[in-house]
A and B are shown apart, each in its own frame.
Chain A
């Protein structure tokens, strides 16, 4: 990165804390963020799975969508059942362009007793998303970005113990619940969610409270700060998509294997962007599909590696790949022609010009350990 580029990078409210904690800062989504701290990616990853890790995800875009019926308005841009999101609930949704390509993936939450919706979108896409949503919905809803808010993610099996010391109400939440509460005395929007496959929380707070709240949580013996490197290896092991890598505007929800995010009512009403095209892909089958991949040896295959069948014909590409510290093996995800998408299919990954034997594998690579309402403390 050249200096002139660095000058254009933004800093989150936790920048000074990252520096003090020894974070190795790198450019990411237009921000300077820590890729890792002193322990390194491997130890940070394993700590988040064993105890609790605190991530600064303040680069992500937060906004309120208000109006007469913001849920109905938002449904014109997503196939998710937004109207069905109950008070105190959050849902994963895809923002689609008019052709049915994925503009972004995001979270939509309805806070108890509030008429507006709370949105969290990806950092790298937030300006474009907000302009698009505001423009498309201008007659029906108002989008208000919360540029003055920070977002912390506390992830791992000890997260509940750590957070409930400073926000007792967090203990009673289950996966994908959301509520306003004070965290260490700071007004916050807390959701029981995250992007690691572990139990955990995302905590939205005013920028001015961020450093104090982060320090309070990091003071707990179970918690360590975790950088972007481990955030990526954790989400990959959890089989979760990274926008701009595993998802983009040329990929539709069916090929991306995210059909579960399309509401049942929405399928019946066929009233979302490119609904006819997407429902036809659903009945006819897509040309290619997102899959999990386990290389057979120890060598990781990275994003961009070609995927070949056993005759050497190119049938797809790796979109995320690396070493999974908890899987203790290389793991990857990518897209292949649908005929090769079944679990167990033998494929080759082309790494440094040589075929690396691999198999299509079910995801997640490491079981999810969410605290679901019906199966509290299910170990996966």
Chain B
């Protein structure tokens, strides 16, 4: 079973072993509106938890995406360049941004569970 955690910047991260898949939440996608462009990291790039790693542009505005955990990027979603609308259509599935090898599992402890994130969104 994979485990999904959330940040207060509205990223989700799904953990399968030491592989983390990252994207933005349904809430974030709805707030952004129609996504028209996404800038994704290249494989091999190393990032620390909370650092800027991708950019998502909607018709409205540009927003930064932060790495929910530290590690090394292993791949970016190849379909998003041609079909950025996938981010609105299926933000927590086909609209994933990138995968990374997790550096330190203990960083997951700083993130929210699904129940905690749901509460957090309600409070906004």
Contacts and interface: CB of A to CB of B under 8 A. Distances in A.
A274 B51 CA distance: 52
B55 interface: yes
Contacts of B121: none
Contacts of B34: 40-43
A35 B59 contact: no
Interface of B: 33-34, 36-37, 39, 55, 57-62, 81, 84
B6 to A, nearest CB: 23
B57 A299 contact: yes
A369 interface: no
Given A300-B36, A300-B37, A42 B57 contact: no
Interface string A195-211: 00000000000000000
Contacts of A229: 33, 59-60
Contacts, number: 43
Interface string A295-314: 00011101000000000000
Contacts of A298: 36-37, 81, 84
12 contacts: A35-B60, A41-B33, A45-B59, A229-B60, A298-B36, A298-B37, A298-B81, A299-B37, A299-B57, A300-B36, A323-B37, A330-B36
A302 B59 contact: no
Contacts of A45: 59
Given A42-B33, A42-B34, A298-B36, 17 more contacts: A35-B60, A40-B34, A41-B34, A41-B58, A42-B59, A229-B59, A229-B60, A298-B37, A298-B84, A300-B37, A300-B57, A300-B62, A323-B37, A323-B59, A325-B59, A330-B36, A330-B37
Contact of A40 (B33, B57, B62): B33
A interface, over-half SS = mixed
B123 to A, nearest CB: 16
A298 B37 CA distance: 6
Interface size range of chain A in the complex = 10 to 19
B57 to A, nearest CB: 6
A245 B76 CA distance: 36
A233 B58 CA distance: 12
A42 B35 CA distance: 9
Contacts of A233: 59
Contacts of A88: none
A36 interface: yes
Contacts of B36: 42, 298, 300, 323, 330
Contacts of A67: none
A45 to B, nearest CB: 8
A322 interface: yes
Nearest to B36: A323
A360 to B, nearest CB: 21
A36 B57 contact: no
Contacts of B81: 298
Contacts of A322: 59
B3 to A, nearest CB: 32
A41 B57 CA distance: 13
Contacts of B62: 300, 302
Contacts of B39: 299, 352
